[in-house]
Structure 1
Amino acid sequence: MKRLTSLAMQYKIYPIFMFMVSTFLAITVVVQNISIAEILNAMLLSANHDLLNLLIFTLIILIARATFNTMNQMVGNQMAAKVKRDLRQRLIIKQSKDSIGVQMNTLTESVDGIVPFFNSYFPQVFKSTMVPLLIIIAMCFVHLNTALIMIVTAPFIPLFYIIFGLKTRDESKDKMSYLNQFSQQFLNKVKGLITLKLFNRTEYTEKELYEESTTFRDLTMRILKSAFLSGLMLEFISMLGIGLVALEAGLGLILFHNIDFKTAAIAIILAPEFYNAIKDLGQSFHTGKQSEGSSDVLFEVLDREDKEPKPQIQTRLSQSSLIRLDQVKFKYKDADEYALRDINLNIRSGEHIALIGKSGAGKSTLAQLIAQNLEPQSGAITYQQNDLNIGFLSQTPYIFNASIRDNITMFHQVDDAQILQVLADVELKEKVLSLKYGLDTRIGEGGEMLSGGQMRRIELSRILLEHPDLLIFDEPATGLDVKTENVIQNVIEQQFSNITMITIAHRAHTIKNADRRILIEQGTLKLGDAHKLNDLGQGGDEHETTD
């Protein structure tokens, strides 16, 4: 809770605004209930000359209360959106060494899991602090005994929801940790479906997945059980407190005659407001503890120092080629053989290179090495500049459960005009503007669903905003319809004609404009027909040849 609260306090304008709005909300709550008591008292005394004015005044206060309550919630939603965007940006920059399933779950489920703390719990904290405080202050002047009952009984409510909240936090953390494991296991099984079928292990895997999903369901039900039990106890204590206030007011009005009807009415009407405000905080506290469980997993990733150092960019300003690979070897962890061996290659600025070869030959691995996503076991990869901006268009773009704007900008602040321009370049502008919420339309799970071609164009829009110095296309036409493929080819020709580009492709027409075609066979570069393989660098600038 402290970590999440300190994170919220980094956006000071939102908590300050919540405090101000909650203060005005608390004033309207007190004034509204006193005015209702005045209306009842006027009706009892048949003072009709004041009734109309009281009704109009009460209506105005009701509207003001609804307005302030809505404003408080809107501020919470704005802060939650800001925090979520910034956390995702930090996670992307972090480049964790976790498996892809765990990374995707952290970016989506874990980040979404902490949102209720900012848009539900945090606004309720201010609301449930100011409303009861002003009610007690008002009751000290109206009826001191009622104020004392509220002061004595109120602490039992937070005591119970703290006890249940701590239990919920631990269960939520267990749930998110298990979801990380389950996500990666599910992803691995999906990737290996063909292998599992060949070895007749599909039924066993299906049973295993069912057991794992059942375990996750049980963890979720445990949290719901705690929520229902917590709600029951909060209702019981609230009803007990309201009953004591009503009893005291009733005895004072009917038996002891030490208070009048208006005072008793104010006490009885304000009591539910007082206890409900604290009870609502209890429900939100339960939600906040669920967010805390998600945040433990999230902050563990952000705070962790990766054991494996990130690849260090080696620059050599004197070399004539933009990128140079010298005797590069790479082997995946636990693999017996090298995926790439003795790779010598010079990539000159502005040239378009096509990597060709059979599936599994090492084309994608070479591209990942050039993009600095992998580090070779031996040899050297040097760059002519240390701030080389590399764009990568993959075969399977990932769409976040977020808005179109965030999916294109990757949670950075970018002008709408720039976003619409890149959408126009990939012929998605009209489609996006036709949606109800435009750029703020949520896509992915729970939002507007996009076709495979539209997803690929969303990723292409990301690259257009980056203005890369080097662009890598990994099978850009795989699985696309003719229209989308033509759109991508047109964008490549118009927008990236003057930058260095590496394309991995099987289709001949996708690499027809390549300056060089490099064949990879079994992890090595092969010289072939001069018409197909124009030029291969042989390890140093002194060995470079011209096309």
Structure 2
Amino acid sequence: MPSDSTARTADQPGIPVHTHNRFRGLDSLWRLRSYLRPYVGRLIVMFAAALAGVGASLAIPLVSKQIIDGPVADRDTRGLVLLGVLAIVLGLTEAFLIFARRWIQSRAVLGLETAIRDDLYAHMQRLPMGFHGGWQSGQLLSRITTDLSVIRRFLGFGILFLVTNIVQLVVVTILLLHMYWQLGLLVAASAAPIVVLSLRFHKKYIRISRQVQDQQGDLATVIEEGAVGIRVIKAFGRRHHVYDMYDEHARKVYDTSIEKVRMSSSFWTFLGLVPNLTLTFVLLLGALAVGQHSMTLGTLVAFTTLLLQLVWPIASLGQILAMAQESMTAADRVMEVLDTVPTIVGGDAAVTTATGHLRFEGVGFHFPDDDTPVLHDVWLDVEPGETVAVVGATGSGKTTLTGLVPRLHDVTAGRVTIDGVDVRDMTLPSLRSIVATAFEEPTLFSMSVRENLTLGRTDATEEEVHEALQVAQARFVYDLPWGLDTRIGEQGLSLSGGQRQRLALARAVLSRPKILVLDDTLSALDVETEALVEEALRHVLAAATGIVVAHRASTVLLADKVALLQGGTITHVGTHHELLAQVPAYRELLGQDADLDAEEVYS
């Protein structure tokens, strides 16, 4: 979950939003400096090229001064040619240095962005289900795309121009003071209002910048949910309602962005006005000085040219400050994810062989943000090769119980063991090679059928894939346009619910686990297909320890024994017939299933 400093706003429930603190943003940006280390050599060359380019640029006005006050005034053709060639060489040198700087710069900053994105994505994969359940996907998406692009632009371009512009401002100011100190002081004094306004702009811009980035994350969530849930939207005729939701969020982004642009435009306008007013006074007073012979014409031309070179550094100050604020905000948002410590980490026991003896020993569980127990004092012993059906009312905690086996969640009391080893002591790869899960809501990816099937076991042979498809009654894949190489759409929406469930079941079977968890995996199958799948599953479950979440009475018949989950704990364990005869609550649960008639239930 988000860090303690995260606050939730009333108008954005469930969305992590930091309070606005420019020092934390600066600290977050500073902590990303480690990603610059592989590019230190390139960055040094880049800065050297940039500073050398500034030097060449500033040398040209000085050469112009010498040309006007020397060869032009003295009508020295030879001297004019030599100084003219020098000016051309300086111009070509500056152009080459700009090209070299941009070439090095682009390669370094793109590598920097890629490195941060790789680490951020890998870290998100390590974070537990509790984290992902507390964050909107659009917020995570905006952090790994938009925010990283903002950071890349500042670390690659903003910092460079910030340094070079400061150097240019200092050097030019010194040169101006040296040329004609009276006008130099005028130029230096004009910087005072810019500094004051910049500080005020800094405070306001960081707030609105964060607001825009958070709202963009909200908008991304709405767009994603609209794309994934398009079937439901169309089925209920809610196209206009969903569009209105989108329009509302898009309007918020638009309004806040316009406010941000208005603030920036006012600041940049002021930054552009001050140098132009200063230039006007310099030309007026400089012309008077030339007329009074206290300044040469070459000095005035050089002074004016150098002053014009201050316009871009001063005018770009607003852009650089805005870029800095946005990058600090973006870094803060990225660090919210990177600072989240994975609560589920693997142990040191690399289990290579297992018989699949599964035990729940006094297990309790509650969610991190809620002390109300979902499970408490759960005891269950499942022998190797044995299949247990977990039966209970909706919301009784069956899915949560099965999620504790592969450590999608961690117990908050007691322990879960496999062959006597606490699952928290096992490495995560070894645990999840022992345990395979097929969920009630199957998740398929926008890749080929084969890639979806072999997700848990990439070395599976064609024969093993065929066998898994046979068990899951998923041979329909061979009738798809390109068979196993057919690319299915996002979330597998091009397939029916039953087809998606069968592919997810085949994926679990293909991994050949020692413990197979079936979370009501057959709920979307028709009666005939379900019977065929159940018959094939009996052979698979005979060679594995099975935990089957059962909402349908027919699924119970797959199990060797049944565990009845009531009030967050297992109250009864026995065979199907024993619980039917002895536990009224069990008979009532099965009696609610119309898919199995009374004769089958009591047979």
Alignment TM-score, normalising by the size of structure 1: 0.65
SS at match of 2:416: strand
Correspondence for 1:181: 218
- The equivalences for 1:75-474 within 5 A come to 75-91=104-120, 92-93=122-123, 95=127, 96-97=131-132, 98-254=135-291, 256-304=292-340, 310-313=343-346, 320-321=353-354, 325-326=358-359, 344=382, 372-375=407-410, 380=416, 382=418, 386=427, 388=429, 397=445, 453=447
Correspondence for 2:26: 2
Q: 1:279 to 1:462 in 2, by over 3 A?
A: farther
Contact 2:65 2:298 in 1 (8 A): yes
Rounded to whole Å, the distance in 2 between the matches of 1:84 and 1:281 is 24
Range with bigger deviation, 281-290 or 41-50: 41-50
SS at match of 2:429: coil
Residues 389-420 of structure 1: CA deviation (Å, up to 9, x unaligned):
7699x9655xxxxxxxxxxxxxxxxxxxxxxx
Contact 1:171 1:219 in 2 (8 A): yes
Q: 1:456 to 1:61 in 2, by over 3 A?
A: farther
Correspondence for 1:32: 60
* Runs of 5+ consecutive residues of structure 1 not aligned to the other structure: 348-361, 398-451, 466-470, 489-502, 541-547
SS at match of 1:380: strand
Rounded to whole Å, the distance in 2 between the matches of 1:259 and 1:88 is 57
Residues 219-270 of structure 1: CA deviation (Å, up to 9, x unaligned):
222222222222211110110122222222211102x211111111111111
Rounded to whole Å, the distance in 2 between the matches of 1:5 and 1:204 is 40
SS at match of 2:540: coil
Rounded to whole Å, the distance in 2 between the matches of 1:476 and 1:59 is 75
Q: 1:519 to 1:303 in 2, by over 3 A?
A: closer
Structure 1 letter corresponding to 2:252: T
Post-superposition offset of 1:273: 0.5
Post-superposition offset of 1:61: 0.7
Q: 1:67 to 1:455 in 2, by over 3 A?
A: farther
Post-superposition offset of 1:510: 8.2
Residues 497-527 of structure 1: CA deviation (Å, up to 9, x unaligned):
xxxxxx9853999899886896947369997
Post-superposition offset of 1:85: 3.1
Q: 1:73 to 1:396 in 2, by over 3 A?
A: farther
Q: 2:544 aligned with 1:537, yes or no?
A: yes
Structure 1 letter corresponding to 2:544: G
Contact 2:449 2:485 in 1 (8 A): no
Post-superposition offset of 1:317: 6.5
Q: 1:145 to 1:124 in 2, by over 3 A?
A: same
Residues 77-120 of structure 1: CA deviation (Å, up to 9, x unaligned):
44533442343244332524424332222212222232222123
Contact 1:363 1:504 in 2 (8 A): no
Structure 2 letter corresponding to 1:268: T
Structure 2 letter corresponding to 1:506: L
Q: 1:53 to 1:481 in 2, by over 3 A?
A: farther
Range with bigger deviation, 26-35 or 312-321: 312-321
Structure 2 letter corresponding to 1:24: A
Post-superposition offset of 1:39: 3.8
Could you tell me which of 500, 503, 511 is aligned with 1:506?
503
Rounded to whole Å, the distance in 1 between the matches of 2:475 and 2:313 is 56
Rounded to whole Å, the distance in 2 between the matches of 1:218 and 1:246 is 42
Rounded to whole Å, the distance in 2 between the matches of 1:272 and 1:105 is 40
> Percent of aligned positions with the same letter in both sequences?
12
Correspondence for 1:419: none
Rounded to whole Å, the distance in 1 between the matches of 2:72 and 2:402 is 82
Rounded to whole Å, the distance in 2 between the matches of 1:68 and 1:163 is 36
Range with bigger deviation, 315-324 or 94-103: 315-324
Range with bigger deviation, 8-17 or 79-88: 8-17
Could you tell me which of 57, 66, 90 is aligned with 1:61?
90
Residues 374-394 of structure 1: CA deviation (Å, up to 9, x unaligned):
4478872646952637699x9
RMSD of the alignment, in Å?
A: 5.2
Contact 1:158 1:278 in 2 (8 A): no
Could you tell me which of 72, 76, 98 is aligned with 1:47?
76
SS at match of 1:155: helix
Structure 2 letter corresponding to 1:301: V
Structure 2 letter corresponding to 1:23: L
Larger Rg: 2
Rounded to whole Å, the distance in 1 between the matches of 2:476 and 2:111 is 36
Structure 2 letter corresponding to 1:388: P
Rounded to whole Å, the distance in 1 between the matches of 2:381 and 2:146 is 40
Correspondence for 2:494: none
Correspondence for 1:522: 520
SS at match of 2:61: helix
